Structure 1
Amino acid sequence: MSDVAKHAPHEIRQRSLLETLEIDTRLLGMIGAFVVICLGFQGWTGFRLQPEFTANPFAWLSDGAFLSARNIFNLTIQTVSVAIMATGMVFVIVTRHIDLSVGALLALCSAVMGLMQVWLVPTVMGLGFGHPMVAPMAMVAGLATGTLVGAFNGWLIGYQRIPAFIVTLGGLLIWRNVGWYMTSGQTLGPLDKNFLLFGGSEGTLGATASWIVAAIAAALAIWAQFQGRKAKLAHDFRVKPIWAEVMMSAIYAGAIFGFVAILNSYEVPAGRLRRIFAARGETMPEGYSEVFGLPISVLILILLAIAMTMIARRTRFGRYIFATGGNPDAAELSGINTRLLTVKVFALMGFLCALSAIVAQARLQNHTNDIGTLDELRVIAAAVIGGTALSGGIGTIYGAILGALIMQSLQSGMAMVGVDSPFQNIVVGLVLVIAVWIDIQYRKRTGALK
């Protein structure tokens, strides 16, 4: 019997529950902060509805509006755009760069897609409004624009050795105004109806399809959990007790089904249903109801999160990113083409800006000149709050998405209780600074930062 096998039982008995479950304490702290934010705004909104004293201490929580199905639905679709870009910003910051141009690039891609939908494809190309190819061609044009601009940024940074701060600061000033000149400063709309499906409320899966997606997601999460255990056993690594594996699987499945259950409890307003039936020349049956279910934009974010996590953990590209961020000189000496890697990282960031533009434009249902304003700050804040180290080499995709959710929860909650916009920005700025301070203290305690 090996030494590991001899001492493993004793070590497991001495470990705490969190250590046995192998839960990231920093992630747990972020989840705890998110729960506190939700409960705080839930109680606050409940107090505004019922400010008088009540003998029931939980009355304010039960009467609050923040955790209603409607607000959770809106919160998720509002988070998607920033969260998509935050996943790419993780790779940028991990490689010790920064991208200040993501909001401006989103606006440029939105302008391109808006022009494609209201002028180029229907009129210049002669396909007409409502043609099924309008939305796909607009999306391809937007994604290509974002990727090319991102690659150009990466070439300037990687091969011309211009600091990323300067290149992307220039992009912050350039790309939005290029979009402004392309559209002559006009708001573009109405957009193609198929394009609007990617915005949120106009494109959802409904109850049945949402449950099917939840079942598939839960099954994949449990499968991945036990595949990881199998791989560890194959290499004689220590694994969690089987009860811990089952508990984590139950937590994953419970979170997935709980989230979908909340979305499936949000019913489509009766007035909107009547308009839908009237457009088809029908009369809505008495007592008929439908639910929104999982938005297509949220499904896109989930699939993107899985893909980006796989890239970070399972591919050579991902390993090169973290190796370069950990020690750029050592990475270059080991044979990694760090210049080309920089181009690839910024091209990916540009692609994600365009994907975010699709979601944001479809949610707003038009192109406006101020779309994506200050998104660069929100995206960087989401990545940093999610645990991405500005010194490079450390970051997670799920952390950035959770950071974006925390940011949006703060802003949405403050808007619901009537906090002025300037004070909202003050709070978000304070949260960002405190999050960085906490991250520094955490890394000092764990020995990751001297």
Structure 2
Amino acid sequence: MTSSTLASMADLKQVFRRYKIIALLIAIAIIWGFFSFMTDGGFVTPRNLSNLLRQMSVTGILACGMVLVIIAGEIDLSVGSLLGLLGGLAALLDVSHHLPLALNLVLALGFGLALGLLNGYLTAYLGIPSFIVGLGGMLAFRGILLGITGGLTIAPVSDNMVYLGQGYLPPQMGVALGIALFVLAVALTWMSRVNRSRHGLPLAALWRDALKVVVIGAVLLAFVRTLNSYDGIPVPVLLLLALLGLFSYVSTQTVFGRRIYSVGSNMEATRLSGVNVQAVKLWVFGIMGVMCALAGLVNTARLAAGSPSAGNMGELDAIAACFIGGTSMRGGSGTIYGALIGALVMASLDNGMSMLDVGTYWQMIVKGSILVLAVWVDVSTRSGR
């Protein structure tokens, strides 16, 4: 290749690195446009978009935990089976033992934390590769699920539990939420400018921050109006928004979050600097277990039943969402909002192909190909070639 061609390729890599999220949003627009055209507008109806977001919430919850695991330089292949196990356990406790919802939630989250910490202990303290730990968990957790359910669907779950997966916020509360999020965006943008000015750091042009706030406001307005024109904002989507805010704060504004990135970037240097690397990895897997419990509860509530096949291949969707959203397979790089955008890509493909009655085998081929493509993009844009 000529030097000008190599320079152009290098410039393209730099642009893609910097504007990867914008590229993803453009990809989502293209996917939605294609499926809307193929379904004569049926894909973008408020009803289908509400179903799409509720469907995405399960993968999104898993992705919130998985992105931390991958940033820390590890992988967890057991999340789909653990989701199924904890969701099935919650259904069993609800249907057979009639436990109050609050107690059921506490038990499911507690079991999720314990099993996640077990995975973390095996990986961080016993030195077993996380790939093997996850693979073993995938088989073991699915086997336990089949054992406690007898291979049968557990149904019907109580109305209180169903609300977690099928409930909606009243329209008035949806509007209030949209206004609150917009005010929060304005406040955070202003505080960022004030802090940068106080420390003598360069400031972005005021019109850029103003444009960012306007775009956020337009997105929130479209989001609330679209969902309120159906039944309101789904409860699982509300939960996902809360997790987005919580995990974004933890990963960017806390010492623990910075340590996760540091461990994934250079584990040995981080250890030599005095950070307890094993403890960081232990708690990352513990958080992943809690996310599996939440996703299992939402999935059971959405289906109004505990299924022995629940969460099957869920680990593929979660891992693909992270890689599509810009998380590096090498660790040390990734964002929560990027992983959720990746989850939206996966859910959009699932939903659109289902509406077009595309065969299951083709859906698996497409999703597997996208996973490989996402990793290839990560490798090619980060390499020096």
- TM alignment of 1:283-302, pairs within 5 A: 292-302=231-241
Name the counterpart of 2:105: 139
The 2-side partners of 1:439 and 1:164 are apart by 21
User: Identity percentage over the alignment?
Assistant: 36
Instruction: Single out whichever of 70-79 and 424-433 deviates more from structure 2.
Output: 424-433
The 2-side partners of 1:336 and 1:386 are apart by 28
Instruction: Single out whichever of 402-411 and 425-434 deviates more from structure 2.
Output: 425-434
Name the counterpart of 2:135: 169
Determine if contact 2:81/2:138 at 8 Å carries over to the other structure. Answer: yes
Structure 2 regions of 5+ residues with no counterpart?
A: 1-14
Name the counterpart of 2:221: 257
Letter in 2 for 1:157: T
Q: CA deviation at 1:303?
A: 0.5
The SS at the match of 2:39 is helix
Letter in 2 for 1:37: I
Q: CA deviation at 1:35?
A: 0.3
* Structure with the larger helix share: 2
Q: CA deviation at 1:24?
A: 4.6
The 1-side partners of 2:234 and 2:112 are apart by 24
The 2-side partners of 1:382 and 1:391 are apart by 16
Structure 1 residues 437, 427: CA separation in 2 closer, same or farther (over 3 Å shift)? same
Name the counterpart of 1:14: none
The 2-side partners of 1:264 and 1:27 are apart by 27
Q: Does 1:353 align with 2:317?
A: no
Letter in 2 for 1:150: G
Determine if contact 2:178/2:221 at 8 Å carries over to the other structure. Answer: yes
Name the counterpart of 2:145: 179
* Higher relative contact order (CA closer than 8 Å, sequence separation 6+): 2
Give the alignment's Cα RMSD to 1 decimal: 1.3
Determine if contact 1:116/1:137 at 8 Å carries over to the other structure. Answer: no
The 1-side partners of 2:183 and 2:30 are apart by 30
The SS at the match of 2:97 is helix
Letter in 2 for 1:228: S
Q: 1:413 aligns with which of 349, 352, 361?
A: 352
- TM alignment of 1:262-411, pairs within 5 A: 262-266=226-230, 292-411=231-350
Q: 2:195 aligns with which of 213, 218, 231?
A: 231
Q: Does 1:431 align with 2:370?
A: yes
The 1-side partners of 2:316 and 2:369 are apart by 13
Q: CA deviation at 1:165?
A: 0.5
TM-score by length of 1: 0.80
Name the counterpart of 1:27: 21
- TM alignment of 1:63-102, pairs within 5 A: 64-102=41-79
The 2-side partners of 1:244 and 1:439 are apart by 28
Determine if contact 1:100/1:165 at 8 Å carries over to the other structure. Answer: yes
Letter in 1 for 2:150: S
Q: 2:208 aligns with which of 237, 240, 244?
A: 244
The 1-side partners of 2:366 and 2:310 are apart by 22
Q: Between Structure 1 and Structure 2, whose CA radius of gyration is higher?
A: 1
Letter in 2 for 1:220: L
Q: CA deviation at 1:438?
A: 2.0
Q: CA deviation at 1:419?
A: 1.2
The 2-side partners of 1:425 and 1:115 are apart by 30
The 2-side partners of 1:313 and 1:234 are apart by 20
The SS at the match of 1:362 is helix
Q: CA deviation at 1:87?
A: 1.1
The 2-side partners of 1:338 and 1:375 are apart by 28
Name the counterpart of 2:185: 221
Letter in 2 for 1:102: V
The 1-side partners of 2:377 and 2:123 are apart by 31
Determine if contact 1:308/1:397 at 8 Å carries over to the other structure. Answer: yes
Name the counterpart of 1:269: none
Name the counterpart of 2:119: 153
Letter in 2 for 1:224: L
Any idea what the Cα deviations from partners look like across 1:130-150, whole Å, max 9, x if unmatched?
Answer: xxxx11111111111111000
TM-score by length of 2: 0.94
The 1-side partners of 2:74 and 2:240 are apart by 24
The SS at the match of 2:297 is helix
The 1-side partners of 2:20 and 2:144 are apart by 41
Letter in 2 for 1:32: I
Letter in 1 for 2:94: Q
- TM alignment of 1:38-57, pairs within 5 A: 38-46=32-40
